[in-house]
Amino acid sequence: MTTRPDTALPLAATFLAFLSLVVLAALDQTVVSTVLPGIQRDLRGSSDIAWIFSAYLITSTVAVPLYGKLADQWGSKPALLAAASIFLAGSVLCGASSSAVELVLARGLQGAGGGAFMTLAMTSVARLFDPPLRFRLQGLLGAAFSLSTMAGPVLGGVLVQYGSWRWAFFFNVPAALLAIAVLNFTLPRTRPIQAGGMDYRGALLLTASLVCIIVGTSRNVAPGVGQAGCVLAGIALAAVFIRLQARAPNALLPLEPFRHPSYVVANVLSAASGIALFAVVVFMPLYFQSARMLTPTASGWHLMALTTGITLGSAAGGRFLTAAGRVRRLATTACGLIFVALAALAFALASHGAPVFALAACLAPLGAGLGILFPLVTVVAQRSVCPTMLGVATASPVMFRSVAGALGVSVLDAIFSGAMRHAGTTLPGAASGTAAFEDALSVVLWVVAGVALMAGLAAWRLPRQLIRLAPLRPGLNVAAGMEAQE
């Protein structure tokens, strides 16, 4: 039975602590983008500076399934407190770094804690709150993560302008300390719901596989044999990992849920949303500032259409799930919004000289579609498994979103660079360069629109209706949380 605090006040404080940790984790993914020049001037480590991004990305990605498994074995509270403490230590060490190498290592430690926040917060909400409120709160967590990802570069610019790049890391400290204190007193301790030990061999293989793939597709590795070797090694390790997971008694990423179509589709939709979100976060600010010569602040204001759409989409999606539970209709609507928005944006760019406000307007339905998907994939994944696998089920879509976003940006960057080289330019300085930039970005957006279209087709494999059930009994068939109405 789910454990709940006795009064509404501790429950509200607990959720606010979840929210603050998710915001911190999202901010630290992108806050570095506008403070890198200051870091490079102070630490003088140009060859290592690019790894400040990759170190956090790699460790935060591999942490997701590990903490999902720990949440099932330890309970959410000790796993969340451990992750928050690691993140806090990493933030302090980042701010106090005296060399680029120290900062890269500290960022890796920070990511090892921050990567767990979304998974553990979503898992805790599922165990603390009843379905009607649960869907809305999970939607708020998804919206907060997306909004904070977009706000990271703006916050970094403000901190550098009025202080030091070190405050991009030190600002985490008071919020993390407060969240740890609140969770220590208000988050109930639940008994472990999954017996057995940790699959350390699986954890090592998965970590090695993700590291090889992310490093191999990173800009930090020069194209050639080394880059291809990293990717191939990662794929080979992933194959070994999947083979061992099929036979492991306490698998880190159990394969049984993947036999259920709804669980597979939830992960596909999450991966597609990660590609779309990361593509816009990376390429649109670059376009606004490099091709349209807008300031970072002005660029941030134009991206507010996306963040507004995400907020409204998450709220509306959570309410629709609560009221009707029609997951198939909601998922296909979300993918349709994403496809239409990306197609409209690609057309506008290809026409050259479209007003900036018109481009920004296209971001609103894109954000609405993404906002709808964030709570939906979590609800579908959680309803597709028995309670003993709730942590793993919550972690899986988050991991697929992160990995797909990272790999997707690498592939899209290669497409963009190839289109720019084909046009005979690399920078949008002159008018012809700006036109080439817009054409290249239009190609990228059409590729992402194609991904959204395929995700919409996959969404037809979801059931029409999500039924409401009492807590599932351990060992219940994974299909028990869904009702297919053809």
Q: How much is the average pLDDT of 470-477? A: 36
| pTM across the whole model | 0.74
Binned at pLDDT 50, 70 and 90, residue 307 comes out as confident
* Most confidently modeled range among 62-71, 106-115, 154-163, 293-302: 106-115
pLDDT value for 60: 82
pLDDT value for 482: 43
CA distances from 352 to 207, 292, 400, 415, 416 (A): 44, 11, 35, 19, 17
Q: Report how far residue 172's alpha carbon sits from residue 168's, in angstroms, rounded to the nearest whole number.
A: 8
pLDDT value for 262: 87
Does the structure show a pLDDT above 80 at 104? yes
Does the structure show a pLDDT above 70 at 174? yes
Q: Report how far residue 188's alpha carbon sits from residue 100's, in angstroms, rounded to the nearest whole number.
A: 40
What percent of the chain stands above pLDDT 70? Answer: 82
| C-alpha closest to that of 143 among 154, 155, 151, 153 | 151
What percent of the chain stands above pLDDT 90? Answer: 18
Binned at pLDDT 50, 70 and 90, residue 469 comes out as very low
Q: Report how far residue 61's alpha carbon sits from residue 112's, in angstroms, rounded to the nearest whole number.
A: 8
Q: What is the token pair recorded at 158?
A: 């403000």
- Tell me what the pLDDT averaged over the chain comes to: 79
Q: How much is the average pLDDT of 249-256? A: 76
pLDDT value for 431: 47
Binned at pLDDT 50, 70 and 90, residue 76 comes out as confident
Q: How much is the average pLDDT of 34-56? A: 69
User: Scanning the structure block, which residue is given the tokens 């609507």?
Assistant: 333
Binned at pLDDT 50, 70 and 90, residue 478 comes out as very low
pLDDT value for 400: 85
What is 258-486's CATH topology?
Growth Hormone; Chain: A; (1.20.1250)
pLDDT value for 447: 94
Amino acid of residue 35:
V
8 A C-beta contact, residue 321 and residue 376: yes
What DSSP letter does each residue of 405-451 carry, written as one string? HHHHHHHHHHHHHHHHHHTT-SS--SHHHHHHHHHHHHHHHHHHHHH
Does the structure show a pLDDT above 60 at 240? yes
Return the SS3 of 483. strand
Binned at pLDDT 50, 70 and 90, residue 483 comes out as very low
CATH number for the domain running over 1-197? 1.20.1250.20
Does the structure show a pLDDT above 60 at 48? no
In degrees and rounded to multiples of 5, residue 7 shows phi and psi of -125, 165
In degrees and rounded to multiples of 5, residue 465 shows phi and psi of -125, 140
pLDDT, tens only, 63-72: 877 787 777 7
Does the structure show a pLDDT above 70 at 3? no
* Most confidently modeled range among 5-19, 180-194, 275-289, 311-325: 275-289
pLDDT value for 296: 62
Q: Report how far residue 33's alpha carbon sits from residue 216's, in angstroms, rounded to the nearest whole number.
A: 21
Q: What is the token pair recorded at 327?
A: 């997951």
pLDDT, tens only, 180-235: 999 888 887 766 555 556 677 887 887 788 778 777 766 555 555 566 778 788 88
Does the structure show a pLDDT above 60 at 310? yes
Please name every residue paired with 483 in a beta bridge, in sequence order, or none if there are none.
465
